[in-house]
Structure 1
């Protein structure tokens, strides 16, 4: 997206000051700035959450993801949020807001005879950024309406807490809104019931995002002291003394009044469950008798432990803030799905119990298979194992492997076959130990069949054509079960299937299934079936082109085929998807006419001459042209997933110094400001890209366990693996403000002339680089033997 220099300049100053006071080498927790990504469609939330938490507490503003930094008022504090997702319908459920003033017939602000008095768009409060705090597990803000109210929030894994401190002793209330949530989040129905003078509970049934089905959230809220009076509202208005409101869509909630003459502080605790009311109550009890401050301290400790999985030396505090905030965003999801007693609601809508492990929810697989998954597997193998077990449970209980699971609903959002490289990489990193055969059987079923119509899953809906002819046909009218379906994006689906098949061939070979491995490896070359050697663009000949059901290349009715059009490609173009064949680089080079021609095409793709002279300007104006501008482009799009790996294609064509340049330019899009994430953060994928690239490595080819390298961003980093091993990366003289290249490398003290590291066994490694600012001295690893062998090539 085009960044606003004026906005960044205005906001950076206020946001830098807390992090700048804390050297990155002392406390990564203090370096995190949760406001990064809350502007320009980053779609992150600034509020409180535990690592991988079920419950979050964050403000509700004008963004469909919750909060926008430029908001001038807050509608409440919701208790479920996703970080960085792109679809409209998401979260903000059970919004609470402290207010003051009279509530009753004819009251100035809350007139019970006027239902609109209880619309959060009307009762929202202005607030100030002065003193606003956004740290892991700790969000604080000053509401400037209703006489002034200080709000502090924190969260444990299953419980969210708010502490409201009223400036005045005016009639004080807490509103709990169940009928409204984030902007564009349809609430289908809700209930709220006052249980006693401390406790309220209820349900919210809302629509899963991207037009998905409905899911139900159960909640319980309890207060640290009794409320003196109460009432509920419904679409017809408010009723004092009423203990319940229930029904379909529309305004619904409750107000709870407190005597603040002597004690002006009220603390609320809210837990949610996807199982039943008993689950929400049990989850609430996990907070026990711990105070707000004790829970905030415990959550901070948990976050510090998570963030210390990577140590960096960052001379510039802002760099430390960007890095640790990115790592923080990586470690927010997937979300815990099990209640404290181990129960969870599966994809069959039935209740199951996970004994000794955690069932997770919210899997944006099309995004996260490209980096976040591998980073979690490295840093948190125990969680990765539970994630793998969750994916297999979804298969067992729902009947098929997932693509984009939202709560207990398969949305079928996005296309291709992301679950295959996702699970194969978990196998490669050891997270499927003891489950290998079961996983392979599920993956083979997914790769060779299509789900029956009775199941909610789409699976590989293009398999009929793909298995018989090697490509997914382009059919804009192909029927679909969810938002997306593969044949409507047949060309990109073919590339995704081919990459997935290659990754599965690696797993098959590792399990001794030689026949399956050979078949799948051959299918890993299927992307070639779409190569049209007759298409030319910008001086280059040969591009991917969709094929229709009759096998012919697609030609639009309006004229000749254009490789920058959206036809047949999902959130990208032929220019961008032409590089999604990293599993067969020799085959790609043959199609493009050799290494020199491929490198020249990459130079055009990245606008390399301008990149060298103006890295930031090129990234901000040539590559990024809008948060959702996926089409009509022939450049690199760092906002979106299909070509995230493309800078490392220079590694694979023998020009590794250009990889370092392209990565360093893309990193300028990540800054310590609200607009500091490029594109949607997509449940941590974009942040994972930044963390990995800053360390100087990226997992470009699924299933291999190999990380292609680039010049790291920091002079020193240590990645602490949970198996007791550590990967240290040193690069003295590193200066992230300029382009730098690798001129020499050593691994464990020995000269290392290769452009990749193998981390599949999670070994201890000591990697050291010499870096230079002179590209002419960057002749390291340019020989043909420097690149990894392609796992699925016939060349």
Structure 2
């Protein structure tokens, strides 16, 4: 009987082990620390998909007085955090992900104990300030959750967030000298004079409100806040740094630095004092932001987070991430690839970010308050980067959001003086960063792919207006001459090529709407790339307004040669909308393939690296620069030749070398999700070479299988046969059981649902 009972117990345990459902959590594969080292420019803190709040630690170690926009050290801190830094300054509530420029870092908070210090100190001498040492051994980053031990204070800090509210949980030791610093002076890209004005008001013994106005990358930006503590503070105070204004006239009649209920100035640091008993519950704090008012910030907090249940907020946030990550369900050969894939999904879904209060009000480009009617308003459009793959990815897995993003762009155009679509916009500002008018690409791609929810005609009209805004970046000469002349406008070749592509996108829109005259006009404009191609040397090069080529010319140099963030070797291959014409310009298919081969195999002399911003060779294979966007489509151009297999091993190499499961795992700035979107598409086995077209070029999938549940209720699947680390080449491809005769699929093939099946091999398939 005992043996029989023991056998039953063993059977029960085995049934529990083997009968359990496998862990379906995709959140566990996300590592927010990837990209936080070197030049990935990502942040590790707590945020939800597309959330307004990005609550993250800042480790900026640059002395404030020496910070300026030309300092390469400032460039390292675009996201506020560098993995190799030894100290944390505090936790601020707004961050860009992966950008090549910095801003934000609003409302930094830092818990401390002991002697009160209102200066952040430095990494070399942290004891003179409120910053703290920390160790990665006592740091944890997950989607919607961040935790770290502040070693100098023996304080455990935990962060989580909802859309507009960040929640802090601080576990203090026993002390009668507990403080929480609120630094309104601190910020990312904090050059002298960035703060225009700050205001702080003590509403009661646990609620604080205020705002911050800055003139950083955004010329005029105002963010309002409401801060609520879970228990009353016993005292409070502040320090103002614009002393010449503080202690004159009326305000000099009494001390504003101690328990004074409100204060205004350019640069303010406030503190709130608490006592803590041994074993006391952690101190909680909620920080809510608003683009409109402090009343809006309070209302956002009351609506989204009316309670103090930290774990509930964390769990709800991680469920939101699980829902978003589940929009592509993959199986990989290597578990590291699972981490890379879902971390890429995570980074791709960090922005653009929601920019409106819970009541749908927001501040517009005209600095007036607007109501978003029947759409969610978004901000932070890094369009020079994201039009290439991120927004096309959204058209498959986030069509409703992408429609709202387009409505946000159209609202931006309506609020613009000349009806111009955004170039690079954030927080009710246009910062005019980079080139092209790539919002038209986003609109065209959504339109031809049938994304609903925005006015197609309004999209075309706004695109035409934007393309004819003659004061913008050489468009007047481009319209009159067919190209941008270098003697009148720098980066002229890059601008000509990108305007040509954007004009093609407008022609696609017009054709889709049946406007043949507009389509014909813009298709003709889209041929402008030929004006800057020098057939004698075989490169795109800068041309002067008199029609002559600019001298001297070096196709490998990135400076003063008519290009931006690239050289002629890179940009000569930027004609994504007409590869056939490009191939003919370059002497035919044989010559073109040789050019592509050379791009990936050549060795650049050291002198060409000495001028780069980060002075490294990261993100580069030969002269192919994966760490920068103009090259992202290039490897897929082999598909327009009879040797598409030459793309396949290179794609696999890029997937494996430019993306790694480590803090320094990104081969360049993630650029608000574009690098990650490239990875997602390429791992699935197809890529949108020319957004505005419904065509995708096939590559070399990294997945064993992928399942994409579509918003129309159908499912698209990718499967691979004989997948492996040493099988980068595609032997055959089948769509719903039918062999494909060319290395392309159409968007309708995806949206209709079905199965794309790759047969992989160790050797290239035979070519014609």
- Give TM-score, length-normalised by structure 1: 0.85
Residue 168 of structure 1: aligned partner: 174
**1:673-692 alignment runs, 5 A limit:** 673-692=662-681
**Is it true that 1:37 corresponds to 2:35 in the alignment?**
yes
CA distance in 2, matches of 1:152, 1:111: 23
Q: How many residues align?
A: 705
Distance 2:726 2:29 in 1: 23
Q: Is the 8 A contact 1:657 1:742 kept in 2?
A: yes
Distance 1:469-1:23 versus aligned 2 partners, 3 A rule: farther
Alignment pair present for 1:197 and 2:205: yes
Instruction: Please show how residues 223-622 of structure 1 align to structure 2 within 5 Å.
Output: 223-235=229-241, 239-248=257-266, 250-261=267-278, 263-285=280-302, 286-289=304-307, 291-398=309-416, 399-431=419-451, 433=453, 435-450=455-470, 458=472, 461-475=473-487, 487-535=489-537, 542-556=538-552, 560-566=553-559, 567-607=561-601
Q: In the alignment, is the contact (CA less than 8 A) between 1:627 and 1:679 conserved in 2? A: no
CA distance in structure 2 between the aligned counterparts of 1:746 and 1:653, rounded to whole angstroms: 20
Counterpart position of 2:90: 76
1:94 aligns with 2:107: yes
Q: Does the 8 Å contact 1:575/1:633 carry over to 2? A: no
Note the residue ranges of structure 1 that are not aligned, 5 or more in a row: 1-21, 104-108, 452-457, 479-486, 536-541, 611-620, 784-795
Does the aligned pair in 2 maintain the 1:43–1:85 contact within 8 Å? yes
- Cross-structure match for 1:730: 719
Look up the SS of the partner of 1:288 in the other structure.
coil
Counterparts of 2:240 and 2:366, CA distance in 1: 32
For the structure 1 residues 462 and 631, does the alpha-carbon distance in structure 2 shift closer, same or farther, using more than 3 Å as the test? farther
Question: Using the alignment, how far apart are the partners of 1:422 and 1:24 within structure 2?
Answer: 39
Task: Report the Cα distance in structure 1 between the residues aligned to 2:23 and 2:311, rounded to whole angstroms.
Answer: 26
* CA-based RMSD: 2.7
Kept in 2: contact 1:379–1:721 (CA 8 A) = yes
Distance 1:32 1:627 in 2: 30
Deviation of 1:751 after TM superposition, in Å, equals 1.1
Stretches of structure 2 lacking an aligned partner (at least 5 in a row): 1-19, 61-76, 244-254, 604-608
Q: 1:601 to 1:493 in 2, by over 3 A?
A: same
Provide the secondary structure at the position in 2 that maps to 1:376: helix
Are the structure 2 counterparts of residues 160 and 697 from structure 1 closer, same or farther at C-alpha, using a change threshold of 3 Å?
same
CA drift of 1:627 comes to 6.9
How many Å separate the matches in 2 of 1:370 and 1:315? 28
Whole-angstrom CA distance in 2 between matches of 1:550 and 1:24: 69
| 2:491 alignment partner, SS class | helix
> Which of 174, 177, 181 in structure 1 is aligned with 2:187?
181
Cα 1:628–1:525 shift into 2, 3 Å = farther
Following superposition, the deviation at residue 259 of structure 1 comes to 3.5
CA displacement 1:483-519 (0-9 Å, x = unmatched): xxxx211101110011111121111111111111112
Q: Distance in 2 between matches of 1:274 and 1:530?
A: 44
Match of 1:639 in 2: 627
Q: Whole-Å Cα distance in 1 between the matches of residues 675 and 128 of structure 2? A: 32
Q: How far is 1:733 from its partner?
A: 2.2
Tell me, in whole angstroms, the C-alpha distance in 2 between the residues paired with 1:656 and 1:128.
48
Paired with 2:614 and 2:358, the residues of 1 have a C-alpha distance of: 42
For residues 397-421 of structure 1, the C-alpha deviation after alignment (integer angstroms, 9 at most, x for no partner) is 1231110002111000001221221
- Quick one: structure 1 residues 730 and 711, their matched pair in 2 at CA, closer, same or farther if it must change by over 3 Å? same
Q: How does 1:102-141 map to 2 (within 5 A)?
A: 102-103=115-116, 109=117, 122-141=129-148
TM-score by length of 2: 0.87
Matching residue of 1:54 = 52
Q: Which residue of 1 aligns with 2:709?
A: 720
Q: Which residue of 2 aligns with 1:753?
A: 741
User: Is the Cα contact below 8 Å between 1:232 and 1:244 reproduced in 2?
Assistant: no
Q: 1:110 Cα shift?
A: 6.3
- Cα distance between partner residues in 1 of 2:145 and 2:745: 37
State the 1:350 CA deviation: 0.5
